[in-house]
Structure 1
Amino acid sequence: MDWFDDAQLEGEIRRMNPAQRHKAAFLALRRLQGPLLGLPMPEEWGIRAEVVAAILQAGSARLDGAVDRDLHRAIEALLSADLFEDGNEVHPEGNEEFQLDVLSAWISLEESLGDMDEETIYDILMRVRQLANATDVVVDQSLSVLEGEGDHRDYILGVGGSLSAYGLGYFGTRNIELEQKCNSAILSFEGDGWGGSEVGREALGLCDEFGQEVLSVLIRTSTF
């Protein structure tokens, strides 16, 4: 199976309404929230910690696919940082590239609110897949044994079905597993109150746990 041209994911997104697509994109980005909060950003970017916090807070408050003024203001504050000034050339390396990709995905999500077109949501989920796979590259290139590597090998040996057909490492495979679980839960959930429901809390917990695993790897390695 081709993880970057995934008909199954395309079908899931196609069956979703705008509110469901919003939740799918949010949960994908939630899986990278740990690294976004846990890694320091270069001072020359001029991105204040409270701006990032405002994006994450506003981004989790409403998951209905509609235009969100609070998130729009938070993104505007982000785009006013030195990093995004005209003529400012940035050459990110290592974890900086990871952070920029996540922030870019948040910008794309905010811009898509009110429409939530299939292509944008697919691109956001693909970006998260890319970053999960890149984390496996970090592990492979590391000269030291990282915590949990044995458990990760056992996971890959035990994974079956369509997940094994992707042929990815631990983080790439685990991300797709969580993506599929989240999308399935979103499609099957009926009624209001997703965030406060048992299925919603479980999805958030799994995504946060994954994000902490990614953060742990990025902290322990000096290059991305």
Structure 2
Amino acid sequence: MVRIEGGAAQKPVHQRQAAVLALWRWRAPVLAFELDAEWGVDRSVLESLFRLAAAPAGEPSDRAYRRNIAELCTAPLFTSEVDPDTVQLFQLETIGNLLTFGELLDKAGVDEAERVVETSAGLATYLDALVGGSFHSHPSEEAHRRYLADLADLTDRASEGYFASRHLAVVTACHGALADLPESAGLLDSSTGRELLALCEDFGEEVVMTMRWLRMTGH
């Protein structure tokens, strides 16, 4: 289980920033694929939620985030049963995490922030399970094996899969830089924040390639 470094001792603004970074690790996967038309979810609303989450904390951005959440929740998705395929499952989990972040705005605390972070980690672990359970060889299988072998030489995390390990590496890099982020600025407003978002986007783009492979091979 991934927990926010420092836990309750961490400043609320850093708890929030850690949660935003967790969301952004799955931004590319949720937006790279078409949303099911029957869900009635406006893609632009999702894009706005990611952007507003990374905006400076405060009443204006929080109010706008809540307004977008209210609009999102009017979609038929929330009043109907769905039978998602693999890609759609990740989309739905990420949409759910955007809703969880909205709860954090109303009752800021480490528990709400950790729910966002832990969902992100859980998705990475689940992706490893899907890749490992496939009858097809992943196109980057050798590169993944080398990454894990190199990691095993440095740490005791040899039992983790590739995406869980990559995710944890990104989490560690992000958490190590939280103290350097300006508390009054959004992640998009500082060079360090943008670098961390780009790091999360890189992870997300790698996930997108694997999701395309999973869909192509019948998942």
TM-score bracket relative to the smaller structure:
0.7 to 0.9
Distance change in 2, residues 1:191/1:10 (3 Å): closer
* Residue matched to 1:92: 84
* Residue matched to 1:176: 168
**One-letter amino acid matched to 2:194:** R
* Residue matched to 2:19: 25
Q: CA RMSD in A?
A: 2.4
Does the aligned pair in 2 maintain the 1:18–1:115 contact within 8 Å? no
1:112 aligns with 2:104: yes
- Give the alignment of 1:9-88 within 5 angstroms: 9-63=3-57, 68-85=62-79, 88=80
* Residue matched to 2:95: 103
> Mind listing any 5+ residue stretches in structure 1 that lack a counterpart?
none
Please report the TM-score for the alignment, with normalisation by the length of structure 1.
0.86
Distance change in 2, residues 1:63/1:168 (3 Å): farther
**CA displacement at 1:93 relative to structure 2:** 3.2
Please report the TM-score for the alignment, with normalisation by the length of structure 2.
0.88
* Residue matched to 1:152: 144
**Identity rate of aligned residues, in percent?**
26
Between Structure 1 and Structure 2, how many residues are aligned?
Answer: 216
Secondary structure of 2:164's match? helix
Which consecutive aligned stretches of 4+ in structure 1 deviate over 6 angstroms post-superposition?
none
Secondary structure of 1:84's match? helix
Distance change in 2, residues 1:95/1:129 (3 Å): same
Does the aligned pair in 2 maintain the 1:163–1:177 contact within 8 Å? no
Instruction: Report the Cα distance in structure 2 between the residues aligned to 1:64 and 1:154, rounded to whole angstroms.
Output: 44
